[in-house]
Every structure is written in structure tokens, then in C-alpha cells.
Structure 1
Amino acid sequence: MSWSNDTLSSIKPKIMAFFLMTIWSPVTLAEQLPDFNASFDIRVLGFHIGEAHQEMTCQGSECLLTSKAEPPGWARQFINESAIEKICLKQTNDQLKWLEYKKFLTRYYDDKTIHKTYTLVRKEKLNKVEYIEKNKSWPNQKHLYDVISMAYGIQFQVLNKKPLTNLYLQDDKIQQKMNFTAKNEDDEIDLPFQDEAQTKLFAFHNGKIDAQLWLMPKLNYFPVRIIILNKEEDRKIELELNHKPTLK
């Protein structure tokens, strides 16, 4: 089959136009979570027992989420531990990707203080998640979070209108899929810095925890309250944002 010069002359501009449209057409990028500083009141059995301070800083797409929680001395009858948790994440067009979790735990007893370290690492080439200190491993799931970063992983998905499917909770004992019983439900709650705050409620669970999470659309869907029931220990912890986060 051969083309005439006139036909080729008419086709060439169309090919060039298509090529330029392909090159210059805008690429839809995911909305990224900004750097932030935030403080949450911690409640156990309805009692305020201290604060958790959380901070995320990013260099390009690589982010470090840090959480620090230490109850005052009088509160150690309710919870006898303090923790610093550091979580490495990566923001992509597809997800807030979990890379590594490290926890420095201190437990207080009448006659001693114990320090422990827990490290969980996603190893892409080996297609697994490894618990370094115990030489244990689990499968490498795409949407995988520890109990701290889970709220921000959900925030990223909601902010970018992505589905909440196949999310897994990972800790040093188990890896389990989260099952949602409520997604994006309107709920009005009172917060320390705002009464009648309009929020979106999410409820999810697995074999270990039952959780409720409230995101606030006016704060870029930032987590403002989370309640977690550890079913194994029959212990419920509530974190509530006590002032607007500082966004950078």
C-alpha cells in the first residue's frame, strides 16, 4: 500500500499535533500531604493521661513521621510506657507508601525500667516485610501501615479520592487486612479547639483491633480523633487533636 504526496501532506500535521498533545498534556499528580506538627491528648479509660506529639517532614517525596508519647508520672498506673516511633514513608501518585517503622519503647516498673527497640522494614527485592530484631517476616502488601501511620495513609487515600481497599495493619506480632464498616460518613464532634466540627468518620477492624477515625475536611482531611481498642489486651486508647496542626 502506498500513500500519495497529498495524503502524506494532510496526515503529517495531524500526527505532529497528536504528538505535541501527548507530550504537553498535563499529568494529574496526587495531592501531597504537607509537613506538619500536631499534638494529641491521650485518654485511657476516659482519663487524660498525657499528650502525643506527631511531626512529619519531607525531602522531596521521602518523608519521616515521628511520634512521641510519654505519660506524666502520676498516669503510669494507667499506662506504664513511653514511646518514640519513627516511620519512613514515600509519597507517590498512587499512595502514601510505608517503608520502615522503628519504635523505641520504655516500660516503667516499681523496681526497674526496660528499654526495647522494634524495627520493621519493607524489603521490595525479597518481597517481604521483615521484623529485624526477631528475624520474622510477612508478605509485602502494597497498602501497608503501622498503627500510627494508618491514619495518614487513609487521609492520603481520601484526599486523592482513592479507594480504601486492601489496607493492612502491620506490627511486630501480626499482619492483618483491615475491614471497613464505615467510610466517609458525616459526623459532627466537639474538639478542644472547635465545637461542632464537621468531620468524616471511618470505622475499621481486624482480629486485633477495633478502630474509629475522624478526618476533618476543612483541615485537608487531617486526623482529629482516633479511638483504638486492642481486643487482645482489652485496652482502649483515644487520641484527640488539641489544637489546629501547624502545616508547613
Structure 2
Amino acid sequence: MNSLSFLATRTLFAAVLLLPFTSQAAQIPSFKATFDIWVLGFKIGQAHQEMNCQNGDCHLSSEAIPPGWAKAFINESAIEKIHLKQSDEDFKWLEYKKFLTREYDDRTEKKTYTLIRREDLDKVEYVEDKKFWPNQKQIYDVISMAYGIQYQVINQRPIDNIYLQDDKIQQKITFSTINESDEIDLPFEEAVQTKLFAFHNGKIEAELWLLPELNYFPARIVILNKDEDRKIELELNHKPTFK
């Protein structure tokens, strides 16, 4: 190799080293899934969850309407709609809307909760009550939290800076258990190998089981609301359908 060719090769090699490193993140695909809902040891209904993504624009919905007989245990039903943006950088929460219905003997109450990431104000806004919180990078409502953790896990990214947002508080969650192997039984399969994550903040204590064989899809989540002293468990009752 003559000196001119050697110099050109060295220059090209140096230029390649200076190029920014890019990698394509693993994505959570669009899906449909159904979870059994357990309260006080009783199965009181199902939650139907669905996420549709097009070019990274994702819409996640959850519908939980207990049957009539279950009103002795829980008198509310909820439809929740969440807007997220999925990219190689993150799984970004943008908006949450909840349509809540409470049934009483003499009346029915309906209420809407809307939480929006306001980039123009660098805040998170609770629209109906005009409350504001800081615009944290990783923030999720109680429904999208499981999928936010899933995204971080499948991309081997840290989960030490995640915040839970609802209409009352915004609070960082702390993990006490991370990626611990655990075998559980599910309605559609026994002795399923999962990874357990346990976390808490001032409002909740939670446990989340993810399925490695299904791209770490959530299999079970147990949430204790400390304020109401009420524990709710969602358990995947069949394998999700991926689109």
C-alpha cells in the first residue's frame, strides 16, 4: 500500500470512529389483552386493554366495567385513554384521560380526569382542577406504568427515575425488587417463569410480574392504595394478541 492509500485509509477509519453511535430500540408492539380483576380475594370482572401504534404514535386504552353482581364489592367502572410516543429514545407519556362512573343506590355519578404533559409550560397539568406538577422525563399514570417499565427492561435501560402521576400527586417510585426470577400460575398456563419488580411511593405499594417469553409483557400487577387501604390485582387471563 502506497503512502497516499495508507493515509486515505487512516482518515476514513478515523471518520468512522467519530460518527455518533445509534441503535434501534426494541418496541412494544400493538396489542390486545384481557386481565381478570381481583378485589378482596374475589374476581369481580375484567379489564380490557389495547394499544395501537402508528409511526411511534401510541394510543393505549383500558376498560374495566364490573358485572352487576360485583357492585357489592366495587361500585365504580372506568374507561381510561392514554396517549404515548414510542421512539428509540423513550416511551414518552403525553396525556391521560379517565371517565369514571360510580353507582349508588339513589344516584349515578360521572367524572372526568384529564392529565396532560404541557411542553409549552414545562409542566404536567390536571386540566379539570388547574393543578400543575413538574415535567418529569419518565412519568406514567397507574395504567401505563407497567408498559413504561416493560419498555425500559426490554431495552436494558435504568428504571431508577420513574414517577407516578395521578390527579392528586406526582411522586417518584422506589424499587425494592428488580428482575427477580419468580414462578407463578396463570389462568392459561401453570408454572410460568416471570421476572418480579416491586416498588412503592407514598401512595402505593405494587408488585409487577413480567413475562420474558412474551417480550416482558405484564402478566400480573398487584397495587395497594395506601390512602384507601384497598388492594387490586390484575392478572392476564390469556396470551395477548399482538398486531
The TM-score with structure 2 as length reference comes to 0.95
Q: 2:143 aligns with which of 130, 142, 148?
A: 148
Q: Note the residue ranges of structure 1 that are not aligned, 5 or more in a row.
A: 1-5
Partner SS for 1:236? strand
Equivalents in 2 of 1:111, 1:242: separation in Å? 34
Matches within 5 A, 1:14-29: 14-19=10-15, 27-29=22-24
Three-state SS of the structure 1 residue aligned to 2:128 is coil
Residue 142 of structure 2 is aligned to residue 136 of structure 1:
no
Question: Does 2:101 correspond to 1:106?
Answer: yes
1:167 corresponds, among 142, 152, 162, to 162
| Pairwise CA distance, 1:19 | 4.0
Instruction: State the alpha-carbon separation in 2 of the partners of residues 113 and 38 from structure 1.
Output: 29
Q: How does 1:97-246 map to 2 (within 5 A)?
A: 97-246=92-241
Residue in 2 aligned with 1:95? 90
How far apart, in 1, do the equivalents of 2:90 and 2:21 lie? 20
Deviation at 1:27, TM superposition (A): 3.1
Match of 1:3 in 2: none
Q: What is the deviation of 1:125?
A: 2.4
- Paired residue total: 242
Unmatched 5+ stretches in structure 2: none
Query: 1:51 and 1:214 mapped to 2: Cα distance?
Result: 18
Among 63, 75, 84, the residue aligned to 1:80: 75
**Could you tell me which amino acid in structure 2 is paired with residue 198 of structure 1?**
Q
Higher Rg: 1
Quote the Cα distance in structure 2 between the aligned partners of 1:164 and 1:19. Answer: 34
Q: 1:95 Cα shift?
A: 1.9
- Separation in structure 1 between the aligned mates of residue 88 and residue 178 of structure 2, nearest angstrom: 22
Distance 2:156 2:16 in 1: 29
In the alignment, structure 1 residue 12 sits paired with structure 2 residue 14:
no
RMSD of aligned alpha carbons: 1.7
User: Which amino acid is 1:62 matched to?
Assistant: D
Q: Name the aligned partner's letter for residue 241 of structure 2.
A: T
Tell me how far 1:11 sits from its aligned partner. Answer: 2.7
**Partner deviation per Cα, 1:10-34 (whole Å, 9 max, x = no partner):** 53343245446767x9831110000
Partner of 1:55, secondary structure, is strand
Secondary structure at the counterpart of residue 133 of structure 1: helix
Paired amino acid for 2:83: C
Residue number in structure 1 paired with 2:54? 59
Compare 25-34 and 132-141 and name the one that shifted more. 25-34
CA distance in 1, matches of 2:200, 2:81: 24
Shift of 1:8: 6.5
> Quick one: distance in 2 between partners of 1:75 and 1:9?
79
TM-score w.r.t. structure 1 length? 0.93
Q: 2:41 aligns with which of 40, 46, 56?
A: 46
